[in-house]
Structure 1
Amino acid sequence: MVQFFKAVALTGLFALAPAFAEPLSYYFEQPTQYRSKVPTPKAVLGFDVGDRHVRHDQLVHYFKELADASNHVRLLSMGYSTERRQQVLATISSPKNLNNLEQILENRQAGKNQNADDPVVVWLGYSIHGNEISGSHASMLTAYYLAAAETEEMKQLLDDVIVLIEPSMNPDGMDRFVTWVNTNRGTSLNTDPEHREHQLQWPSGRTNHFMFDLNRDWLPLTQVESRNRVKYFHQFKPNVLGDFHEMGKDSTYFFQPGIPSRTNPLTPKENVELTMNFAEYHAAALNADHRLYFTRESFDDFYYGKGSTYPDINGAVGILFEQASSRGMATTSENGVLTFGFGIKNQMLTSFSTLRAAQQNKKKLHQFRTNFYAQSLEMASDVGFAGYLIHEPADRQRLKDFLHLLEQHQIESYALTDTYESNDVKYRPGSSYYVPLEQPQYRLIKTIFDKVTEFKDNSFYDVSGWTLPLAYNLEVKKVNRSRDVDIDSQPFTADLLTVPEQNMPLKEGAYAYAFAWDDYLAPKLLNELLNQGIKAKVATKAFTLAGENKDEEQDFAAGTILILSGLQNRTDWFDKLMDTYQKYHIDMASLTTGLSIKGIDLGSRSMVTLNPVRVMMIGGHSVSQYEAGHMLYYLDDTIGVPVSVIDDYRLNKIDFNHYTHVIMVDGSYKGISEATLGKLKAWVENGGVIYAQKRASKWLASKNILQSSFVSDNELARLFNTDDLTYADRQQLAAKKRIAGTIFATNIDVTHPLAFGYQQESLPIFKNSTVIIEKASRPFVTLAEFTEKPLLSGYSDDALVGKVAENTAITAHNVGKGRVIASSENLVFRGYWHGTAKIVANSIFFSKAFSVPAKP
């Protein structure tokens, strides 16, 4: 076996390094001949790797210098993060491979057979969690050695392998973390885990700008970093992807295969075999340095939205690496003092063991990839139906968002060109698309569309159900034969989204203008109009007006937004309306009269005035940064509502009257004082609106603001018989007691103003906690209720499913002049639950359009 590095003898598990720095000789074999023109990290940064935490700009600067100095390295920009930090990808290989790269990539497209002599492609992705920073530092050392080492082993490796290095997969989180550590470290080494250097702020650097865990976003692709990355993933089609992380300081080092029973059954056995083969290389590299590790405990390979599993459903091998984290420069752990440099070297050792394994298993990797796509087409032909028909007649934006997501995953969908009829339902062109199964991405189609409720192992590291059509609340029908549907010859492409259709011009001088609330971006349009001083109302009841032609009628549903000309008080309001209207592909009608022929008139008191909103969200260490991020992303980025995030410890200094709404996502809220609670109660009773979810709802109930009861922890515990259990049954019992990301069915009251924009009473909801609101005994307070048999997709123990059934999912009622709206679930989970997100928008804009006393 080729050895690139000399073993360094250690007296214990962790190397006791000098005060901070680890010289290059600590990481690499000496003596080695290096190309003198290739700069070391120290030559560019001014300090050794491991001496301090490198900022993202310094990291990118080093890779740019490396690419300028070496004909073995090319650097490309994948795009920019939300905070405008550049995402870069270094391609390192022999000059011959780099010069022929375009043809090599063309030969690698899905479904094409690989020549056994073609180079293998390995993607090394570092630090997708920004505070797991040892990987990003290892990336510099790995790149330097590949570009600079003048050895026969290196020459042959670069002939055989195209190495892709993504040095920082989360630039914004990286800099948030690095700034914290560099600000709080001292000039002398402090290994106390309680020191500020090791205790991160809220939000932590683990997440990106919007507090998203990017390692859960490979499948939903809600974040710009993920969309940039997956574009190049499919351009290069790597054979192997190494995904480098960190874990708790008291662990050692982990690499897959992980727990065998927790591999998704769609992952081929050959993938698992290759992963186990690679594990021998990682073990050999760590054995040589006497470094501890484990491989078949914890973690899993089930959810395909992670960096180590997304490759597995794309004909590649994804491998997770986890290094015990020093967080700062060094920390005391169960295994002694853990230094930053020690963690960096572990990540570098397994980076090279991955490359060696790929090089020496090149033919197997090519054959696996060829087999993967051939088997996918065979599997598709044996399923018993031909494809899926996707249908959404009312909300074009939500449908297009889903189709665009499929396209980013290289899944083709086709517009219907003629109406398809089945069971008296007509699937019309413009609102219906067909996804054939017989395409290279069959396995990915299956994991996106399938509803799975039975599992070999019921323990999940992440979600167990992610059926994306349910998340988008789209109707899906199986089609038995492709010839039964008439479709366009070309698949849907994102180009269709970049050339918006021109809206029909509005008629100046009309009595009023109206648009429906169905479109996913209707809240964004309304918010922009309100903020420009244009007055609007919402119809809480349906109405019908006479059309322009004698026999025509125009029907308008409850939830229709009205801009009444007679209420506007700025002279340029119509110009502002036109300019804003043209930004959105949302139909707007020009109305010539306020007199209806059915239902309410336009001057009715059932037309409720809508006002601009000022939203506060409570943040801080007692609040889930993830759910705060999900909510912030939806309100701020998706529908354009600015959100003031205020940490819980500052609430006593805040004037609540400056805000119309308070958002409380999942959290304990233990930092809220009695004085602040009194201010909150007075504010809501005087007309404020609280939207709360999960544990925040329980907190409000415990403070007598929300008039709801919850299933107690003791009642949940009694659901499970613990007689005759052994100590070995602990994990299985804990798994049964969890709801680890499951999709449930609810019925919603479509007559309720908080359900405006929903056409169907059935609504799938994502649930990942055991917070259960008991069914209310009084009428009108329940907006959504779980069905009698609610499990749709994912795992949940039968006892928990039964307890969830027919209980409340969303409730709302008055509190004095104000309102409280509470959900047992996160309705904007990870940014991709388009189907339930509108309830949050309705809670913002229509919170005063309903009135239900807290008690009868």
Structure 2
Amino acid sequence: MQVMRGLLFFLIGLLSTVLVSFQTSALPVADYLPKAQRYNADIPTPKQVLGVEIGERHLMHYQVLQYMSALAERSPNMIKTSIGRTAQHREQILLTISSQQNLDNLSQILARRNDVSKVNENDPLVVWLGYSVHGDEISGTHASLAVAYHLTASQSPEVKALLDNTIIVIEPSLNPDGMDRFAQWVMTYRNTSDNIDPYHSEHNQGWVSGRTNHFWFDLNRDWLLLSQQETRNRIKYFYQYQPNVLGDFHEMGRNSTYFFQPGIPTRTHPLTLQKNTELTQEIAKFHAAALDGKDRLYVSEENFDDFYYGKGSTYPDINGGVGILFEQASSRGYQVDTINGLLTFEFGIQNQVLTSLSTLAGATANSKALKQYRYDFYQQGEQQASKEKISGYLVHEGHDNFRMADFLGKLKQHHVEAYPLTSDYRLNDKVYSKATSYFIPLEQKQYRVVKALFTTETDFQDNTFYDVSGWTLPYAMNIEFQPITRTWGLKWSEQAWQSAPTETVELDQNAYAYAFEWHHFLAPKLLNKLLSQGIKARVATKAFTSVLAGDSKDFALGTIVIPAGIQTEENWRDLVASAATEAGIEIFNINTGLTPKGADLGSRTLLPVEPVKVLLVGGNGVSQYEAGEIRFYLDQMQGIPVSLVEKSRLARVNLADYSHIIMVNGNYSDLSKKTVNKLTNWVRAGGVLFGQKSAAKWLAEQEILKANFVSKKRIDEMFATETLTYQDKESLAARKRIAGAIYGTKLDTSHPLAYGYTEQNLPLFKNSSLIFEKPNSPFVGVAQYTASPLLSGYSDRNLVNQVANNVALLGHNYGQGRVIASSDVLAFRGYWLGSAKLLANSLFFAKAFDAKAE
């Protein structure tokens, strides 16, 4: 331990005496760093470039870029790499800091890391420091300036040795859009005089907060899901560097202290090796020593878990590295009163600098063990894969190329190889076409990533989850998957899947009508594009058959027909071809309205589809995550504009301008009676209202939605408490909640809200104990939970039994309008593509059903 402490204080040293607890004035960069250092005068300080000291104000992202660019220009030990742009077009960067020799040979060093068949003992260790993935947890980003300056400017032998033996990757801001939203908020409400009142607006953000990105997504949940472009930009470089250690720097509530991993031992995913936890504990000694040296309060092995692999601190754990979470008590603004006294912005930055340097010290001291761990990780994975009861997974999607390509694309970004079949394969009396089926073997380098993505565990050592417990990728994307116990008769290509270019759609210019099928994921995008350009379309509410080029073609419910005889726009055929090419959807040329089977094309069963105008209710008390998910699905993925209106403005909006209103989970009790009456009258007059989770319950309380719910009292009565002691309180609360699990449902595929689904089975994501009771009225229920609904993740058996056979999605008439409600999150975290189509169907086909509720 003495040797480790010695190495730690060589790198960190004793901070200068001006760093008294809760200092309230901005500090020069040197005062954040080890004392008795000699710094290269040619390397600029933050003050020299930006005109302010670190912690003097909340910097904007462009200022962080400005300083890091200045460092890269002046220092031979740093490379600045642009890795992409955010949705708001801010630049994402990585800084690579090491010796000149290592940087000159960087491509060769990184290439050698791909060979996991041996330990490259002479190659440098790789440590990645990622800051402030939540944009309002901004002390980390400011700490990155001090850390980068120290590593590039210090002339100490200890730092030189560190750079000789380590490649340090710094991502100063993982969430630039959220960072600027937060910084602007704080600067807007900061007083000239200091204000430590925690209720002052400086410390309390409006809706939406800086925590999330442009689409209001939590980027720290996206490492596995890859729905957001910031994450997709980053993941390419993660796999280039393949870090041995990744530090993930966050903030938490102001009355906390400082946290570093390991977290609660029983909340570690079973795929994570025990050695990973041991190495985390070894490095934790360096964090403790650094914080002890400054009398800083901290905790470890408390609160946070290491279970969900979609977080920055856990994703490395299935990629041969060690991820470490850091959480600093947050001042949110510049200073705030807490139970521990005055907490300042500078104090938080100091702690983040301390643990950044202790991460480097701890990694360096354990360099040999970390390199050996990475080698063992992949060697043991190969051995375990060969002993598995299954050989891999067969995946299949016969109708929707987009969903399948997106699924395979996610695997590819995780460096998981999927192979096209070279011949049809029969399994369980079903033939899997080689054109639409793929095999994912377990015996590959990313064995544990495959296991993590396909896991369907429902039993866990500790049932208390900080985040979701079920995230099975093929369930989320509604991709059929089958475990393969033996590969006899299964033949697949030697070449892994690669994305194919989109083909240009060409139309018969003399066709009587055109048609496209609704099972395509981007069919709503194509339909909305056509409607917005004035092209008239019909939806088939009965199946029909047409003869195309001499062959019969069956068209299912939900098929969109574009008759030539009713079009009034010039060049409308060219518009159809262009929009179909953009969406990658095949258009069928139909040369007669007479069909050999089913409805003729002039039938009244082909209903007109009207353009939509969507209002999404937001504002304080409304889940920014769920609002963001729906906005992302409709706007970003389907090209359907969404008008966001805060609750407080609803009373002033002319609702008649909108065809649909969407309400997600939130508290709507503050809506006035006048606003409720206005909403009620709008629905009665023909509007379509969609409510998700607690919004659905609120609609029922207003007697707009005809639905009953399982009461909290009934849920409480299912759990015996007679023998419980006070220490059982947390575990009981965990049993009563559904933190995030996957449930199976059966769809009524004849219902317009289920158009486009070719199978009845549909997995849904459930993250609340809100449960509809089965309605008494017929034709109201659209999706019903199965008798044994839990597919993946944890839910107490009492809750599973209560959910079973009840309804998950329902819709009914309300005057001339429609009310549709879901107890589950239909577009969860932007990757739940399987159930998202239910949202689009609610937009375009709500008036295609007629169901009265008692």
Above 0.5 in TM-score? yes
Which of 58, 62, 66 is the equivalent residue of 2:63? 58
What is the CA–CA distance in structure 2 between the aligned matches of 1:112 and 1:653, rounded to whole Å?
Answer: 66
Q: 2:335 matched to which residue of 1?
A: 330
SS of 1:583's equivalent?
A: helix
Matched, 1:426 2:426: no
Is the contact between residue 663 and residue 690 of structure 1 (CA under 8 Å) also seen in structure 2? Answer: yes
SS of 1:751's equivalent?
A: coil
Which of 397, 400, 406 is the equivalent residue of 1:395? 400
SS of 1:764's equivalent?
A: strand
Which of 183, 195, 201 is the equivalent residue of 2:200? 195
Matched, 1:579 2:586: no
- Alpha-carbon deviation of 1:110? 5.7
**1:797-840 Cα distance to aligned partner (Å, 9 max, x none):** 00000111111100000110000100001100001111100001
Q: 1:739 matched to which residue of 2?
A: 738
Letter in 2 for 1:521: L
Letter in 2 for 1:568: Q
What is the CA–CA distance in structure 2 between the aligned matches of 1:484 and 1:366, rounded to whole Å?
Answer: 40
Q: 2:310 matched to which residue of 1?
A: 305
What is the CA–CA distance in structure 1 between the aligned matches of 2:91 and 2:283, rounded to whole Å?
Answer: 32
**1:90-116 Cα distance to aligned partner (Å, 9 max, x none):** 000111110110110001116342322
After superposition, where does 1:198-347 map in structure 2 within 5 Å?
198-347=203-352
Q: 1:143 matched to which residue of 2?
A: 148
Query: Would you identify which runs of 4 or more consecutive aligned residues in structure 1 move more than 6 Å?
Result: 9-12
SS of 1:163's equivalent?
A: strand
Q: 1:521 matched to which residue of 2?
A: 522
Q: 1:447 matched to which residue of 2?
A: 452
What is the CA–CA distance in structure 2 between the aligned matches of 1:633 and 1:346, rounded to whole Å?
Answer: 36
SS of 1:132's equivalent?
A: coil
Q: 1:7 matched to which residue of 2?
A: 14
Q: 1:845 matched to which residue of 2?
A: 844
What is the CA–CA distance in structure 2 between the aligned matches of 1:484 and 1:215, rounded to whole Å?
Answer: 42
Is the contact between residue 110 and residue 440 of structure 1 (CA under 8 Å) also seen in structure 2? Answer: no
**1:536-582 Cα distance to aligned partner (Å, 9 max, x none):** 01001101123432xx3221111000000111012221121122122
What is the CA–CA distance in structure 2 between the aligned matches of 1:583 and 1:715, rounded to whole Å?
Answer: 51
What is the CA–CA distance in structure 1 between the aligned matches of 2:180 and 2:487, rounded to whole Å?
Answer: 50
Q: 2:777 matched to which residue of 1?
A: 778
Is the contact between residue 38 and residue 147 of structure 1 (CA under 8 Å) also seen in structure 2? Answer: yes
After superposition, where does 1:58-97 map in structure 2 within 5 Å?
58-97=63-102
**1:484-532 Cα distance to aligned partner (Å, 9 max, x none):** 3222221113xx24x21233x2111211100100111111111111111
Q: 1:809 matched to which residue of 2?
A: 808
SS of 2:824's equivalent?
A: coil
Is the contact between residue 122 and residue 355 of structure 1 (CA under 8 Å) also seen in structure 2? Answer: yes
* More off after superposition, 800-809 vs 569-578: 569-578
Letter in 2 for 1:781: V
Letter in 2 for 1:506: L
Letter in 2 for 1:706: L
What is the CA–CA distance in structure 1 between the aligned matches of 2:669 and 2:128, rounded to whole Å?
Answer: 43
Letter in 2 for 1:502: T
Letter in 2 for 1:651: L
Q: 1:533 matched to which residue of 2?
A: 534
**1:423-471 Cα distance to aligned partner (Å, 9 max, x none):** 2211112210111111010011011112101000000000000111111
- Alpha-carbon deviation of 1:318? 0.1
- Alpha-carbon deviation of 1:10? 8.6
Computed over aligned residues only, the root mean square deviation of the Cα atoms, in angstroms, reads 1.3
- Alpha-carbon deviation of 1:8? 4.8
Task: Output the TM-score relative to the length of structure 1.
Answer: 0.98
- Alpha-carbon deviation of 1:9? 8.5
Q: 2:3 matched to which residue of 1?
A: none
Letter in 1 for 2:545: T
Q: 1:501 matched to which residue of 2?
A: 503
Q: How many pairs does the alignment contain?
A: 847
What is the CA–CA distance in structure 1 between the aligned matches of 2:657 and 2:110, rounded to whole Å?
Answer: 56
Letter in 2 for 1:421: R
What is the CA–CA distance in structure 2 between the aligned matches of 1:375 and 1:302, rounded to whole Å?
Answer: 20
Q: 2:686 matched to which residue of 1?
A: 687
Letter in 2 for 1:604: S
Is the contact between residue 22 and residue 346 of structure 2 (CA under 8 Å) also seen in structure 1? Answer: no
What is the CA–CA distance in structure 2 between the aligned matches of 1:413 and 1:210, rounded to whole Å?
Answer: 30
After superposition, where does 1:631-642 map in structure 2 within 5 Å?
631-642=630-641
What is the CA–CA distance in structure 1 between the aligned matches of 2:651 and 2:676, rounded to whole Å?
Answer: 9
Q: Runs of 5+ in structure 1 lacking a partner?
A: none
Q: 2:645 matched to which residue of 1?
A: 646
Q: 2:711 matched to which residue of 1?
A: 712
* More off after superposition, 424-433 vs 260-269: 424-433
**1:353-402 Cα distance to aligned partner (Å, 9 max, x none):** 00011111111011000000001111110012221111110111100100
What is the CA–CA distance in structure 2 between the aligned matches of 1:154 and 1:25, rounded to whole Å?
Answer: 15
SS of 2:324's equivalent?
A: strand
Is the contact between residue 92 and residue 174 of structure 2 (CA under 8 Å) also seen in structure 1? Answer: yes
What is the CA–CA distance in structure 2 between the aligned matches of 1:174 and 1:670, rounded to whole Å?
Answer: 31
Is the contact between residue 475 and residue 763 of structure 2 (CA under 8 Å) also seen in structure 1? Answer: yes
Q: Runs of 5+ in structure 2 lacking a partner?
A: 1-5
Is the contact between residue 110 and residue 373 of structure 1 (CA under 8 Å) also seen in structure 2? Answer: no
What is the CA–CA distance in structure 2 between the aligned matches of 1:597 and 1:118, rounded to whole Å?
Answer: 71
Is the contact between residue 502 and residue 581 of structure 2 (CA under 8 Å) also seen in structure 1? Answer: no
**1:164-194 Cα distance to aligned partner (Å, 9 max, x none):** 0000000000000000001110121111111
What is the CA–CA distance in structure 1 between the aligned matches of 2:691 and 2:807, rounded to whole Å?
Answer: 14
Letter in 2 for 1:542: A
How has the CA–CA distance of structure 1 residues 620 and 110 changed in structure 2, closer, same or farther, with 3 Å as cutoff?
farther
How has the CA–CA distance of structure 1 residues 73 and 9 changed in structure 2, closer, same or farther, with 3 Å as cutoff?
closer
SS of 1:740's equivalent?
A: coil
Is the contact between residue 538 and residue 608 of structure 1 (CA under 8 Å) also seen in structure 2? Answer: yes
- Alpha-carbon deviation of 1:606? 0.9
- Alpha-carbon deviation of 1:595? 1.4
Is the contact between residue 216 and residue 628 of structure 2 (CA under 8 Å) also seen in structure 1? Answer: yes
What is the CA–CA distance in structure 2 between the aligned matches of 1:814 and 1:269, rounded to whole Å?
Answer: 56
Letter in 1 for 2:776: S
How has the CA–CA distance of structure 1 residues 422 and 6 changed in structure 2, closer, same or farther, with 3 Å as cutoff?
closer
Matched, 1:171 2:176: yes
**1:229-280 Cα distance to aligned partner (Å, 9 max, x none):** 1110001100000000000000000000110000001001110100000100
- Alpha-carbon deviation of 1:752? 0.1
How has the CA–CA distance of structure 1 residues 193 and 10 changed in structure 2, closer, same or farther, with 3 Å as cutoff?
farther
- Alpha-carbon deviation of 1:330? 0.2
Task: Output the TM-score relative to the length of structure 2.
Answer: 0.98
Letter in 1 for 2:770: V
Matched, 1:462 2:467: yes
Q: 1:557 matched to which residue of 2?
A: 556
How has the CA–CA distance of structure 1 residues 10 and 540 changed in structure 2, closer, same or farther, with 3 Å as cutoff?
farther
Matched, 1:183 2:188: yes
How has the CA–CA distance of structure 1 residues 110 and 190 changed in structure 2, closer, same or farther, with 3 Å as cutoff?
farther
Determine what percentage of the aligned residue pairs are the same residue.
Answer: 52
- Alpha-carbon deviation of 1:624? 0.2
* More off after superposition, 379-388 vs 761-770: 379-388
Letter in 2 for 1:851: D
- Alpha-carbon deviation of 1:24? 2.7
SS of 1:582's equivalent?
A: helix
Is the contact between residue 124 and residue 163 of structure 1 (CA under 8 Å) also seen in structure 2? Answer: yes
What is the CA–CA distance in structure 2 between the aligned matches of 1:270 and 1:47, rounded to whole Å?
Answer: 44
Letter in 2 for 1:109: N
Q: 1:799 matched to which residue of 2?
A: 798
Q: 1:414 matched to which residue of 2?
A: 419
Is the contact between residue 741 and residue 794 of structure 1 (CA under 8 Å) also seen in structure 2? Answer: yes
Letter in 1 for 2:158: E
